[in-house]
Structure 1
Amino acid sequence: MTEPHLQGQDLVIEHLAAGYGKVQVLWDVSLHARPGEFVAVIGANGAGKTTTLRAVSGVVKPSGGRILLGGQDITRATPPQIVALGLGHVPEGRELFPLMTVRENLELGAAMRPEARAMQAQTLEHVYTLFPRLRERQGQLAGTLSGGEQQMVALGRALMARPRVLVVDEPSLGLSPLMTQTVFGALRAVNAEGVTVLLVEQNVGLSLRLADRAYVLENGQVVNEGTGAALLADPRVREAYLAL
């Protein structure tokens, strides 16, 4: 039975510890996201942001703590099991299949959830509405796309699973300002439709302006948290991450 203080949360991470082999990266990370929230995680390179998202999606196995998705313990679940429970992951670097077409990459996103497969055509149309350029490029090999177009495919592929929680890792990496606006506009639209978003992003100012709440990660631990607006105004955050 879910504890009272955890009820109503889409995603809960409690005292998470994780790493790679003998190298520990996360020591004690706790955060949560309520249904429909936009939550950002900020921090310097090496703080443990990507490892946190990988632990949520089952790619990295925690050595301590626990993770709940919609009240269900997914700490030891496999990535396919976690996707089937309603998590979508947009990884850093996109990780597309370059020799498959745009459409084939997108359709793979629906493979792990029966309800997503049943609504594949409808969801694909929704993705094409979010990203009209992908409709134009649907028969093109993913490896021949620009970086921004590949990021659209990576986000669209995650949305094809019809997730309740979407975790997104560095979506603006390598993108032009105009393409960054396009990708973040889509994230805002998806969040407005009720999808909970957990974002890791080096563009701290943009992240905090979008976020309902945010966490600051340093050396594998949460050292500060608050509303996006409050952290954006925090002198320590501005000095450390915004060079102000």
Structure 2
Amino acid sequence: MTASQMQGQELRIERLAAGYGKVQVLWDVSVRVAPGEFVAMIGANGAGKTTTLRAVSGVVKPTAGRVLLGGRDVTRAAPSAVVALGLGHVPEGRELFPRMTVRENLELGAAMSARARSAQAQTLGQVYSLFPRLEERASQLAGTLSGGEQQMVAVGRALMARPSVLVVDEPSLGLSPLMTQTVFGALKAVNAEGVSVLLVEQNVGLSLKLADRAYVLENGQIVKEGTGTALLADPSVREAYLAL
């Protein structure tokens, strides 16, 4: 990916409330990711991090507040429309099609955008450059890959949509330290070339080291924000999330 091909857009979440049926999960959540910025969101399990990303991508419909992507209100937009406007979502659990090949899973990422379809071959080559192992495994069924390889496919599939904003949910879940470094290195490389990134991640120390800024989400509300460096040094954050 190159910055000239995928310029980052601003993502703005304003006073968001959301949940599932009668169960409210988020209250008054506001988050901003500036164009080209790398932002982390940390919090305990059940804090509402995944729900926030699902609301951004249109999978969960907010009950209040709004989501702006590049200044456009996408609060009520269908997920396919949000993708077409420049959002890539790497979901928790990867959600690959195990009986399809690596290449077929990747190509699905370009299906929702005419712009992405027209550049599919070029983008596929760029994904393979980012993750050479996927080119080696292109004809292999996704369900037979290791967990780390499957995570590469999930990230690559989101990149096939040629996003300007990438939201990533728990990419290190179940991965070895070496594979975690590989996946995070790819995310930083994509961000360095202009793509805005909002990362939800259980590895708090690594997330805060990489992030320009970060938010702490507790019980569905933002309780703290600051630079990654400042939050990494914050005694309350270190005690709650780093066991220090």
| TM-score when normalising by structure 2 | 0.96
In the alignment, the residues of structure 2 paired with residue 150 and residue 191 of structure 1 have an alpha-carbon distance, to the nearest angstrom, of 21
Give the match for residue 152 of structure 1.
152
Q: For each residue in 1:189-210, what CA deviation from the matched residue of structure 2 results, as whole angstroms up to 9, or x when unmatched?
A: 0000100000000000000000
Structure 2: runs of 5+ lacking an equivalent: 1-7
- The answer to whether the aligner puts 1:63 opposite 2:63 as a matched pair is yes
Where 2:65 maps in the other structure, the secondary structure is strand
In the alignment, the residues of structure 1 paired with residue 117 and residue 200 of structure 2 have an alpha-carbon distance, to the nearest angstrom, of 28
In the alignment, the residues of structure 1 paired with residue 44 and residue 219 of structure 2 have an alpha-carbon distance, to the nearest angstrom, of 9
* Amino acid of the structure 2 residue aligned with 1:133: R
- The answer to whether the aligner puts 1:196 opposite 2:196 as a matched pair is yes
Where 1:222 maps in the other structure, the secondary structure is strand
Q: For residues 77-156 of structure 1, what are the structure 2 equivalents within 5 Å?
A: 77-156=77-156
Where 1:171 maps in the other structure, the secondary structure is coil
* Amino acid of the structure 2 residue aligned with 1:140: Q
Where 1:82 maps in the other structure, the secondary structure is helix
Q: After the TM superposition, which parts of structure 1 deviate over 6 Å for at least 4 consecutive aligned residues? A: none
Contact 2:100 2:141 in 1 (8 A): yes
* Amino acid of the structure 2 residue aligned with 1:53: L
Where 1:32 maps in the other structure, the secondary structure is strand
Contact 1:9 1:32 in 2 (8 A): no
Contact 2:80 2:112 in 1 (8 A): yes
Structure 1: runs of 5+ lacking an equivalent: 1-7
Residue 152 (structure 1) shift: 0.2
Residue 55 (structure 1) shift: 0.2
Residue 9 (structure 1) shift: 6.2
In the alignment, the residues of structure 2 paired with residue 154 and residue 240 of structure 1 have an alpha-carbon distance, to the nearest angstrom, of 30
Where 2:25 maps in the other structure, the secondary structure is strand
In the alignment, the residues of structure 1 paired with residue 33 and residue 178 of structure 2 have an alpha-carbon distance, to the nearest angstrom, of 29
Contact 2:58 2:76 in 1 (8 A): yes
In the alignment, the residues of structure 2 paired with residue 23 and residue 9 of structure 1 have an alpha-carbon distance, to the nearest angstrom, of 32
Give the match for residue 5 of structure 1.
none
* Amino acid of the structure 2 residue aligned with 1:97: F
- Matched positions, count: 237
In the alignment, the residues of structure 1 paired with residue 9 and residue 100 of structure 2 have an alpha-carbon distance, to the nearest angstrom, of 37
Residue 28 (structure 1) shift: 1.0
Q: For each residue in 1:115-152, what CA deviation from the matched residue of structure 2 results, as whole angstroms up to 9, or x when unmatched?
A: 11111111000000010000000000001100000000
Give the match for residue 4 of structure 1.
none
Residue 184 (structure 1) shift: 0.4
- The answer to whether the aligner puts 1:39 opposite 2:32 as a matched pair is no
Instruction: Report the RMSD for the aligned CA atoms in angstroms.
Output: 0.9
| TM-score when normalising by structure 1 | 0.96
Q: For each residue in 1:38-72, what CA deviation from the matched residue of structure 2 results, as whole angstroms up to 9, or x when unmatched?
A: 00000001100000000000000100000000000
Percent same amino acid among aligned pairs?
84
